Protein backbone atom coordinates (compact mmCIF):
# COMPACT_ATOMS: atom_id res chain seq x y z
CA UNK A 1 0.00 0.00 0.00
CA UNK A 2 2.84 2.44 0.84
CA UNK A 3 5.30 1.08 -1.72
CA UNK A 4 4.10 3.48 -4.48
CA UNK A 5 4.86 6.37 -2.09
CA UNK A 6 8.32 4.92 -1.45
CA UNK A 7 8.99 4.52 -5.18
CA UNK A 8 7.86 8.10 -5.85
CA UNK A 9 10.21 9.44 -3.15
CA UNK A 10 13.08 7.35 -4.53
CA UNK A 11 12.45 8.68 -8.04
CA UNK A 12 12.29 12.27 -6.77
CA UNK A 13 15.64 11.94 -4.99
CA UNK A 14 17.19 10.19 -8.01
CA UNK A 15 16.14 13.06 -10.28
CA UNK A 16 17.33 15.74 -7.87
CA UNK A 17 20.70 13.98 -7.42
CA UNK A 18 21.15 13.68 -11.20
CA UNK A 19 20.38 17.37 -11.66
CA UNK A 20 22.54 18.58 -8.79
CA UNK A 21 25.48 16.46 -9.91
CA UNK A 22 26.08 19.12 -12.55
CA UNK A 23 26.66 21.65 -9.76
CA UNK A 24 29.81 19.75 -8.81
CA UNK A 25 31.17 20.05 -12.35
CA UNK A 26 30.29 23.74 -12.38
CA UNK A 27 32.05 24.23 -9.03
CA UNK A 28 35.20 22.57 -10.38
CA UNK A 29 35.13 24.75 -13.52
CA UNK A 30 34.65 27.91 -11.45
CA UNK A 31 37.39 26.88 -9.02
CA UNK A 32 39.80 26.19 -11.86
CA UNK A 33 38.95 29.41 -13.67
CA UNK A 34 39.25 31.44 -10.48
CA UNK A 35 42.65 29.91 -9.68
CA UNK A 36 43.96 30.53 -13.20
CA UNK A 37 42.79 34.16 -13.16
CA UNK A 38 44.20 34.67 -9.67
CA UNK A 39 47.65 33.39 -10.64
CA UNK A 40 47.76 34.78 -14.17
CA UNK A 41 46.33 38.25 -13.48
CA UNK A 42 46.61 38.53 -9.69
CA UNK A 43 42.85 39.16 -9.56
CA UNK A 44 40.07 37.37 -7.75
CA UNK A 45 36.68 37.92 -6.22
CA UNK A 46 34.99 36.71 -3.06
CA UNK A 47 31.87 36.14 -5.13
CA UNK A 48 33.67 33.44 -7.14
CA UNK A 49 34.82 31.73 -3.95
CA UNK A 50 31.37 31.91 -2.41
CA UNK A 51 29.61 30.53 -5.47
CA UNK A 52 31.91 27.50 -5.22
CA UNK A 53 30.83 27.01 -1.61
CA UNK A 54 27.17 27.41 -2.56
CA UNK A 55 27.47 24.85 -5.33
CA UNK A 56 29.24 22.38 -3.06
CA UNK A 57 26.57 23.00 -0.38
CA UNK A 58 23.88 22.30 -2.98
CA UNK A 59 25.53 19.01 -3.92
CA UNK A 60 25.97 17.98 -0.29
CA UNK A 61 22.54 19.04 0.99
CA UNK A 62 20.44 17.98 -1.98
CA UNK A 63 22.19 14.68 -2.74
CA UNK A 64 22.59 13.35 0.82
CA UNK A 65 19.14 11.79 0.67
CA UNK A 66 20.15 10.03 -2.56
CA UNK A 67 23.20 8.67 -0.73
CA UNK A 68 20.84 7.30 1.94
CA UNK A 69 18.65 5.78 -0.76
CA UNK A 70 21.64 3.97 -2.27
CA UNK A 71 22.73 2.76 1.18
CA UNK A 72 26.09 4.46 0.77
CA UNK A 73 26.11 6.38 4.04
CA UNK A 74 28.71 5.65 6.67
CA UNK A 75 27.96 2.57 8.71
CA UNK A 76 29.76 -0.09 10.68
CA UNK A 77 29.59 -2.97 8.19
CA UNK A 78 32.36 -4.87 9.95
CA UNK A 79 30.09 -5.40 12.95
CA UNK A 80 26.60 -5.29 11.42
CA UNK A 81 27.64 -7.48 8.48
CA UNK A 82 27.98 -10.44 10.84
CA UNK A 83 24.27 -10.39 11.66
CA UNK A 84 21.47 -11.94 9.65
CA UNK A 85 19.79 -9.75 7.04
CA UNK A 86 16.68 -9.55 9.19
CA UNK A 87 18.71 -8.27 12.18
CA UNK A 88 20.47 -5.76 9.92
CA UNK A 89 17.09 -4.48 8.73
CA UNK A 90 15.91 -4.12 12.34
CA UNK A 91 19.06 -2.14 13.14
CA UNK A 92 18.43 0.11 10.12
CA UNK A 93 14.79 0.58 11.07
CA UNK A 94 15.63 1.50 14.66
CA UNK A 95 18.36 3.85 13.43
CA UNK A 96 15.93 5.60 11.09
CA UNK A 97 13.23 5.90 13.76
CA UNK A 98 15.42 6.81 16.74
CA UNK A 99 18.16 8.88 15.13
CA UNK A 100 17.65 9.95 11.50
CA UNK A 101 14.04 11.11 11.70
CA UNK A 102 14.19 12.92 15.06
CA UNK A 103 17.39 14.85 14.28
CA UNK A 104 16.20 15.68 10.76
CA UNK A 105 12.94 17.02 12.13
CA UNK A 106 14.76 19.09 14.78
CA UNK A 107 17.03 20.56 12.10
CA UNK A 108 13.95 21.35 9.99
CA UNK A 109 12.24 22.97 12.98
CA UNK A 110 15.16 25.35 13.48
CA UNK A 111 16.34 25.53 9.87
CA UNK A 112 13.13 26.80 8.29
CA UNK A 113 12.94 30.02 10.38
CA UNK A 114 16.73 30.44 9.99
CA UNK A 115 16.42 30.35 6.18
CA UNK A 116 13.23 32.42 6.03
CA UNK A 117 14.74 35.18 8.17
CA UNK A 118 17.75 35.32 5.86
CA UNK A 119 15.43 35.50 2.84
CA UNK A 120 13.20 38.15 4.44
CA UNK A 121 16.13 40.37 5.38
CA UNK A 122 17.95 39.91 2.06
CA UNK A 123 21.05 38.86 4.01
CA UNK A 124 24.33 39.54 2.25
CA UNK A 125 27.75 38.04 2.81
CA UNK A 126 29.98 39.99 5.17
CA UNK A 127 32.86 39.49 2.71
CA UNK A 128 33.69 42.34 0.35
CA UNK A 129 32.10 41.58 -3.02
CA UNK A 130 30.27 38.61 -1.53
CA UNK A 131 26.93 37.18 -2.58
CA UNK A 132 23.47 37.06 -1.08
CA UNK A 133 23.38 34.41 1.65
CA UNK A 134 19.79 33.22 1.70
CA UNK A 135 20.12 30.75 -1.26
CA UNK A 136 22.73 28.82 0.72
CA UNK A 137 20.68 28.93 3.91
CA UNK A 138 17.57 27.67 2.11
CA UNK A 139 19.55 24.56 1.15
CA UNK A 140 19.46 23.43 4.80
CA UNK A 141 15.67 22.97 5.09
CA UNK A 142 15.41 21.73 1.49
CA UNK A 143 18.08 19.11 2.12
CA UNK A 144 16.43 17.93 5.31
CA UNK A 145 12.98 17.81 3.74
CA UNK A 146 14.46 15.45 1.17
CA UNK A 147 16.19 13.50 3.96
CA UNK A 148 12.92 13.11 5.91
CA UNK A 149 11.15 11.95 2.75
CA UNK A 150 13.91 9.45 1.97
CA UNK A 151 13.90 8.30 5.60
CA UNK A 152 10.18 7.57 5.24
CA UNK A 153 10.85 5.67 2.04
CA UNK A 154 13.54 3.59 3.72
CA UNK A 155 11.27 2.87 6.69
CA UNK A 156 8.53 1.74 4.30
CA UNK A 157 10.95 -0.58 2.48
CA UNK A 158 12.34 -2.07 5.70
CA UNK A 159 8.85 -2.76 7.06
CA UNK A 160 7.85 -4.33 3.72
CA UNK A 161 10.94 -6.56 3.92
CA UNK A 162 10.15 -7.61 7.50
CA UNK A 163 6.61 -8.48 6.38
CA UNK A 164 7.95 -10.60 3.50
CA UNK A 165 6.62 -8.25 0.80
CA UNK A 166 9.94 -6.94 -0.51
CA UNK A 167 13.32 -8.43 -1.34
CA UNK A 168 16.33 -6.87 0.40
CA UNK A 169 17.88 -6.03 -2.98
CA UNK A 170 15.39 -3.13 -3.17
CA UNK A 171 17.38 -1.25 -0.53
CA UNK A 172 20.74 -3.01 -0.22
CA UNK A 173 23.98 -1.60 -1.53
CA UNK A 174 24.87 -3.37 -4.76
CA UNK A 175 28.62 -3.57 -4.28
CA UNK A 176 31.24 -6.18 -3.72
CA UNK A 177 31.70 -7.70 -0.29
CA UNK A 178 34.92 -6.86 1.58
CA UNK A 179 36.23 -10.32 0.68
CA UNK A 180 35.49 -9.73 -3.02
CA UNK A 181 37.22 -6.34 -2.86
CA UNK A 182 40.33 -7.94 -1.26
CA UNK A 183 40.41 -10.57 -4.00
CA UNK A 184 40.10 -7.85 -6.67
CA UNK A 185 43.01 -5.95 -5.11
CA UNK A 186 45.12 -9.13 -5.00
CA UNK A 187 44.31 -9.84 -8.65
CA UNK A 188 45.24 -6.28 -9.64
CA UNK A 189 48.55 -6.54 -7.73
CA UNK A 190 49.42 -9.79 -9.52
CA UNK A 191 49.00 -8.03 -12.86
CA UNK A 192 51.54 -5.34 -11.89
- Give the pLDDT confidence of 111-159 residue by residue, as tens digits: 999 999 999 999 998 888 889 999 999 999 999 999 999 999 999 999 9
pLDDT of residue 122: 92
State mean pLDDT over 76-105: 91
2, 93, 139, 148 from 159: Cα distances, Å: 10, 8, 30, 16
Q: Report which listed range, 43-52, 65-74, 78-87, 142-151, is most confident.
A: 142-151
pLDDT of residue 174: 63
pLDDT of residue 78: 73
Q: Determine which of 69-78, 134-143, 170-179 has the lowest per-residue pLDDT on average.
A: 170-179
Res 36 pLDDT > 70: yes
- What is the percent of the chain with per-residue pLDDT over 70, rounded to a whole number? 96
Per-residue pLDDT band for 185 (boundaries 50, 70, 90) equals: confident
Say how many CA atoms lie within 13 Å of 119 toward its Cβ: 13
3-state secondary structure at position 132: strand
For residue 62, how many other CB atoms are within 10 A of its CB? Answer: 21
Phi, psi of 129 (to 5 degrees): 75, 15
Q: What is the pTM of this model?
A: 0.83
Per-chain mean pLDDT for the chain: 90
CA dist., res. 51 & res. 128, Å (int): 14
Amino acid sequence: MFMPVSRAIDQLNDKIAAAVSWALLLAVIICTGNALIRYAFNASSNAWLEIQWYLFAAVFMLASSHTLRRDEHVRIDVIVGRFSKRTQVWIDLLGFLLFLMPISLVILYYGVPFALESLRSGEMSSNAGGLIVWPAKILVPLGFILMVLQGLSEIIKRIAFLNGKLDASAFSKQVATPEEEIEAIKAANKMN
